[in-house]
């Protein structure tokens, strides 16, 4: 076995994908939405529930998500993995599923997520436990942590609230091309800057949506992928890095572990930044997009704020970032990581409609979990990328 998982490059593929309950799904539970997405993804792959023998899941509302999914869908898996690294769980599941498939521990892997947190209460649902050394200061995570990181990035690199606003505007411009996006319509820089301040320097317009939504993908080994879908999305590389849990312990608040997860993913995939046609970044807050553009190497450290100016990441710009409208304007049901993958698959299939990136061959999905804690980068590609 060669180093850094290189032997796993291109060995698995996403052959089925579906979403359900995007935005608002009144009257549906999280598991009902997850079930709809799972059935849809299997149908997309020409498979049924009985074919699934590997289950990968994490949710915001189940302590034992794989058990709950297995029971609800009547599955009998021989491999299951409930790795929970927050919103980045699903990028990690792509790696776990690829390893399990390649080892012959399963043949059909289902990765799934569902949440009804908008219609169930409208507040972010999280099982995240308080950190005892933080509790006396009443942080309101996650936004407190991201506000702290933004304050540090501004102080170190001169990033401005206007730069953060440009991220929100680009996301909205993409959402306006996506009929499934929840927040559509005109948005001005003034509206973003004048929005209610929640945790300095982040306003309500710097925060992701709280929506309902479910997504599921089905993976098989690459050698049988074409039997299930004419345009499989091959898993080219996945890299992960994690250094902290509490924002207090993050070594440098202006630089994330995405530096390492990205390098690992690019090395495994054997491709470069310039090869990326679509870049999906976990934008729970506007500062995330700036941090990840820098840390994944799409611009020099500290230049992220200037990079996002002048529509550079908006439709028609230099780099197609968050083409679904992102967590900021498309969908964000608590854990967003699987929706990055769903959009990448859509683009690699050429099924993006008005927002389609021409000849998309390689897409990067960068998941983020906790308070800029777990970082997982996955690179997907079409057959041409193999």
Name the residues that contact another protein, by CB under 8 A.
Answer: 132-140, 144, 147-152, 155, 196-202, 246-249, 253
Q: Which is nearer to another protein, 260 or 267 (CB)?
A: 260
Nearer to another protein by Cβ, of 31 and 149: the residue is 149
Q: Could you check whether the bond before residue 35 is cis, i.e. omega within 30 degrees of 0?
A: no
Q: Which is nearer to another protein, 194 or 318 (CB)?
A: 194
Crossing angle (nearest 10°) for helices 161-175 and 286-295:
100
Give the N- to C-terminal CA distance of the chain in Å, as an integer: 19
3-state secondary structure of 228: coil
| DSSP-based helix, strand, coil % in the chain, nearest 5 | 40, 20, 40
Shortest reach from residue 139's CB to another protein, in Å: 5
Going from the C-alpha of 336 to that of each of 113, 216, 370, the distances in angstroms are: 9, 12, 12
Q: How far apart are alpha carbons 133 and 149 in whole angstroms?
A: 18
The whole-angstrom distance between residue 65's C-alpha and the CA centroid of its chain comes to 18
| 164, 328 contact by CB (below 8 A) | no
Q: How far is the CB of 326 from another protein (least distance, A)?
A: 22
Q: Closest distance between another protein and the C-beta of residue 190, in Å?
A: 20
CB of 305 to another protein, least distance (A): 16
- Measured from the CB atom, is 2 or 132 closer to another protein? 132
Q: In whole angstroms, how close is the CB of 250 to another protein at the nearest point?
A: 9
Do 177 and 315 meet the contact criterion of CB atoms below 8 Å apart? yes
Q: What's the full length of the chain, in residues?
A: 386
Query: Rounded to the nearest whole angstrom, what is the least distance from the CB of residue 261 to another protein in the complex?
Result: 20
Nearest residue to 45 via CA among 349, 385, 377, 381: 349
Count the neighbouring beta carbons within 10 Å of the beta carbon of residue 233: 27
As a whole number of angstroms, the distance between CA 17 and CA 110 comes to 10
Q: How far is the CB of 130 from another protein (least distance, A)?
A: 12
Considering the complex, state which of residue 181 and residue 253 has its C-beta at the smaller distance from another protein. 253
Looking at the Cβ atoms of 197 and 386, the one nearer to another protein is 197
Q: Are strands 79-81 and 197-199 parallel, antiparallel or unpaired?
A: unpaired
CB of 287 to another protein, least distance (A): 11
- Min dist CB 134 to another protein, Å, is 5
CB of 352 to another protein, least distance (A): 36
The nearer residue to another protein, 197 or 384, going by C-beta atoms, is 197
Of 9 and 141, which has the nearer Cβ to another protein? 141
Please say which residue, 20 or 253, places its beta carbon nearer to another protein: 253
Q: How far apart are CA 241 and CA 267, in angstroms?
A: 14
How does strand 109-115 pair with strand 197-199?
unpaired
How far is the CA of 344 from the CAs of 85, 120, 170, 279, 324, in angstroms? 20, 28, 17, 8, 9
Q: Which is nearer to another protein, 72 or 243 (CB)?
A: 243
């Amino acid at each position: 076995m060669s180093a850094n998982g290189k032997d796993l490059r291109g060995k698995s593929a996403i052959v089925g994908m579906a979403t359900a309950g995007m935005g608002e799904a009144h009257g549906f539970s999280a598991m009902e939405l997850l079930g709809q997405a799972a059935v849809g993804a299997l149908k997309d792959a020409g498979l049924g529930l009985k074919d699934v023998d590997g289950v990968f899941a994490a949710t915001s509302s189940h302590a034992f998500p794989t058990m709950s999914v297995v029971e609800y869908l009547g599955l009998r898996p021989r491999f299951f993995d409930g790795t929970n690294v927050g919103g980045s769980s699903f990028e990690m599941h792509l790696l776990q599923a690829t390893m399990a498939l390649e080892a012959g521990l399963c043949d059909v892997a289902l990765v799934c997520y569902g949440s009804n947190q908008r219609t169930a209460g409208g507040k972010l649902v999280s099982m995240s436990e308080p950190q005892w050394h933080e509790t006396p200061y009443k942080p309101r995570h996650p936004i407190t942590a991201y506000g702290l990181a933004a304050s540090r990035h501004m102080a170190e690199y001169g990033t401005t609230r206007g730069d953060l606003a440009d991220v929100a505007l680009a996301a909205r411009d993409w959402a306006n091309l996506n009929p499934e996006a929840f927040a559509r319509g005109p948005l001005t820089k003034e509206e973003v800057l004048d929005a209610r301040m929640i945790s300095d320097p982040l306003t309500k317009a710097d925060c992701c949506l709280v929506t309902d939504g479910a997504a599921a993908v089905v993976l098989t080994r690459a050698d049988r992928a074409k039997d299930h879908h004419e345009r499989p999305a091959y898993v080219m590389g996945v890299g992960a890095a994690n250094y902290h849990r509490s924002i207090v312990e993050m070594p440098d608040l202006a630089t994330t572990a995405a530096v390492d997860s990205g390098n690992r993913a690019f090395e495994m995939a054997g491709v470069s930044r310039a090869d990326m046609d679509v870049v999906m970044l976990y934008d729970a807050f506007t500062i995330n997009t700036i941090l990840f553009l820098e840390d994944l190497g799409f611009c020099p450290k500290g230049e992220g704020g200037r990079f996002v100016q002048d529509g550079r990441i908006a439709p028609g710009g230099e780099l197609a970032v968050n083409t679904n409208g992102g967590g900021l304007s498309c969908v964000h049901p608590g854990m967003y990581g699987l929706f990055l993958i769903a959009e990448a698959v859509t683009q690699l299939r050429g099924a993006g409609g008005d927002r389609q990136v021409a000849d998309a061959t390689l897409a990067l999905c960068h998941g983020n979990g906790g308070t800029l804690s777990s970082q997982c980068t996955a690179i997907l590609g079409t057959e041409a990328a193999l």
